[in-house]
Amino acid sequence: MVYLINKENFTTDAWTLEGFERELSLDYSRSYVMEMGGQVVGYAVVWIIHDEAHIMTLGIKKDLWGRGLGRKLLVWIIEDLRQSVSRFLLDVRVSNLRAIKLYKDMGFKILSLRYRYYSDGENAYQMCLELSDGDKGQEAKEGYISPRDS
Ligand SMILES: CC(C)(COP(=O)(O)OP(=O)(O)OC[C@H]1O[C@@H](n2cnc3c(N)ncnc32)[C@H](O)[C@@H]1OP(=O)(O)O)[C@@H](O)C(=O)NCCC(=O)NCCS
């Protein structure tokens, strides 16, 4: 199901099934699966490298976009790793306004522009959330709801 959500969300950058399976055997990789009413509605894969959490992929089932689930998933991940890392990093297509808005709302800042980062030539923003910045992380904490409560 995670594979299918990823496939419907990403055209050129979709992960293969083998790619997702491989993640499960990597000790620095953590996989998150969000369920609602017994149905998988979202997922994320995060790499923990030293004190950094790299969000490698993240997605919500397309027909459920815009209901706050992406935000909830991100809050869950941040709270889960809050004690283990000092910052979150990710790359996002410059055209992905919905995701960029979500990340900015959560306190992420644009760190750099990665020129022609994607295979189709699109640029990426590298975005970063410094947990020591405190306030947004605190906001995430206050808004925390377990995805399984959704
Ligand atoms: C990005 C993604 C995870 C967001 O999930 P979501 O469940 O739709 O997110 P939310 O409902 O929590 O909304 C997040 C914000 O996007 C905003 N938003 C909604 N529709 C939007 C639109 N058309 N354009 C810009 N922003 C929009 C919402 O206003 C919301 O902010 P708010 O809470 O302040 O209102 C989801 O769209 C997705 O899976 N996209 C495809 C995969 C992807 O791009 N992943 C990120 C790669 S780095």
- Find the CATH number of the domain harbouring 10: 3.40.630.30
Range of the domain at 84: 2-149
Which atom of ligand 1 lies nearest, measured to the CA of 72? 12
Residue nearest to atom 30 of ligand 1 (CA): 102
Indicate which atom in ligand 1 lies nearest the CA of residue 69.
Answer: 7
Spans of the chain below 50 pLDDT: 135-137, 139, 141-150
Which residues are registered as beta bridge partners of 30? 46
Q: Structurally, how many domains does the chain consist of? A: 1
pTM for the model: 0.86
Q: Which two tokens stand for residue 140?
A: 């995430």
- Residues in contact with ligand 1 by the CB-under-6-Å rule are 9, 58-60, 65-71, 90, 92, 96-99, 101-102, 105
Q: Provide the pLDDT for residue 35.
A: 95
The sign of the dihedral angle between the CA atoms of 23, 90, 70, 83 is: positive
DSSP 132: G
